[in-house]
Amino acid sequence: MDDTRARAGGDPADGGLPPGLLLDAEGRRDVEQRQPGSLLELRERLGDLFCLRTEGRPPRVYVADPAALRDIFVTHGGHLRARGPSLFRHLVGEESVAFLNGRPHRRVRRLLGRALAGQDPALLADAVERYLRGTLSPGAALPLAGFADGLTRRVIVTLLLGEGEEARRAAVEDSLERAMVGLHHGHTARLAGDAERAARADRAFTRARRDLDDCLAAEIAAARRGSPASSVLARLLNDPDGGEPTDADVRVHAVTLLVSGHETTSAALSWALLQAARAPWHFAGIRAEIAALPERAPAVALLGLPYLRAYCLEVLRLTPPVPNGNTRLVVSPFRAAGYTFRPGVEICPCIHNAHHARDSHSDPQRFAPERFIGTSPAAGTYLPFGIGSRRCPGESLALRELAIAVAHLARLPGLRIGTPDTTAPEPVSMGPTVRTPHAVIRRTHGTGPGP
């Protein structure tokens, strides 16, 4: 951290916030662009609770201490209001569960939880297998991040629409992809101060969002006429807590699931494959577990494999796709963790720092799946899906999808992951998520297991 653009301390009028830095606009951008590395630097300098202040912006407190996390976000959660990820506001809409609070948030959260509950692992496995057959034939080579995006996008669209026509599913996937690319490119351009490139990205995003809305309007109309009852979209049409939702309501919920159902899972899958490339013996352990299963074992059997489960949990610990959880705004004063929080202060759970705390995870920089075999993380030390009332309602689905995708890829013959060198550059933050460094996934003509 450059001390010429930051100084310790803060305004006493903040009401006794944790120690922190006063940053100018450039220093604040530097922190945000260099996540998660910048977060670890700040923890070493300021501790597990610290505050960043910038003129014209509310003070923001970052929390990584397990006891403080529970005290602030669970015990005193009623004093906080969620703000949602600003990057996705214009795509999902203000009525998305990410931006709701209080009773409306609880109602929509229950609706989404019911819609996602009980997804058949066989359907997940089938969607993964179909994607792999279509993209990773022998001789294929694809950017790793793009491959993971495509796979997770295919899975969530398949779950949302059910067994629909291929062309209709492809149209939703295409418009969703273009909308996400437009958002990310616009965000990156604005961080770089390139107004012209940001404007082009915004125009592309607007066209893609319109196309996605048209696709979803047609799908919602078809669902009302009687689409497969097993589809998530069909379940969204029935809200026991609020009666029959409008088409606008269903559109918001559907887009929220499409975005949240592939954005972070895609990043997690990319990291899972990159870790296997750096240490191939981990995939060997997963293949050994799969080989010990009975012949023609159902997909649900994969979810009971202890090393596969531990591998996925460790990926999410070491490289959480979202380094900071949902930011909350203090709306009424309270005292917690030894500090006083007054209205107007922002607070966020610092997931990356919590996952790299030496008191919670031994040798935290080392990728070690065995730490999760036969045990579960202690409360407040493991937060890849958030904490408190904002915990992701799709957590179970995301873990199932990640495990099934990793299992299928681990036993795919000829799979290879290539990185530019053995000391890959620090990952680049893409909005709320952190993506892998540049890498390529290949399928060779050989028969040996990968990666």
240 within domain boundaries: yes
Report the alpha-carbon distance of residue 22 to residue 28 in Å, rounded: 9
pLDDT tens digits, one per residue of 193-210: 899 999 999 999 999 999
Average pLDDT, the chain: 88
Q: How much is the average pLDDT of 385-410?
A: 93
| Structure token pair of residue 361 | 């995870």
Q: How much is the average pLDDT of 240-265?
A: 89
341 within domain boundaries: yes
276 within domain boundaries: yes
216 within domain boundaries: no
Most confident among 85-89, 105-109, 123-127, 331-335 (mean pLDDT): 331-335
Q: Which pLDDT belongs to residue 34? A: 86
The domain spanning residue 406 has which CATH number? 1.10.630.10
Q: How much is the average pLDDT of 340-345?
A: 96
| Structure token pair of residue 14 | 């903040």
User: Greatest CA span in the chain, whole angstroms?
Assistant: 67
What is the rounded radius of gyration, in angstroms, for the C-alpha atoms of the chain? 22
Place 238 in a pLDDT band, splitting at 50, 70 and 90: confident
**412 pLDDT above the threshold of 60:** yes
Report the alpha-carbon distance of residue 157 to residue 161 in Å, rounded: 6
Place 432 in a pLDDT band, splitting at 50, 70 and 90: low
Share of the chain above pLDDT 90, in %: 65
Domain count, the chain: 1
Q: Which of 53, 49, 64, 48 is nearest to 12 (CA)?
A: 53
3-class SS of residue 167: helix
**175 pLDDT above the threshold of 90:** yes
Is the CB of residue 48 less than 8 Å from the CB of residue 358?
no
pLDDT tens digits, one per residue of 273-315: 999 988 889 999 999 999 999 988 899 999 999 999 999 999 9
384 within domain boundaries: yes
25 within domain boundaries: yes
Place 440 in a pLDDT band, splitting at 50, 70 and 90: confident
**1 pLDDT above the threshold of 80:** no
125 within domain boundaries: yes
Place of tokens 């013996």: 281
| Total-model pTM | 0.91
Place 421 in a pLDDT band, splitting at 50, 70 and 90: low
Report the alpha-carbon distance of residue 307 to residue 320 in Å, rounded: 19
182 within domain boundaries: no
pLDDT tens digits, one per residue of 21-76: 999 999 998 898 888 999 999 999 999 999 999 999 999 999 999 999 999 999 99
Q: How much is the average pLDDT of 176-182?
A: 94
Report the alpha-carbon distance of residue 274 to residue 315 in Å, rounded: 10
Q: How much is the average pLDDT of 388-415?
A: 92
Q: At a CB cut-off of 8 Å and minimum separation 6, what does 359 contact? A: none
Report the alpha-carbon distance of residue 395 to residue 105 in Å, rounded: 17
Q: Which pLDDT belongs to residue 447? A: 61
**359 pLDDT above the threshold of 80:** yes
Report the alpha-carbon distance of residue 356 to residue 385 in Å, rounded: 16
- For 347, the domain range is 3-163+228-443
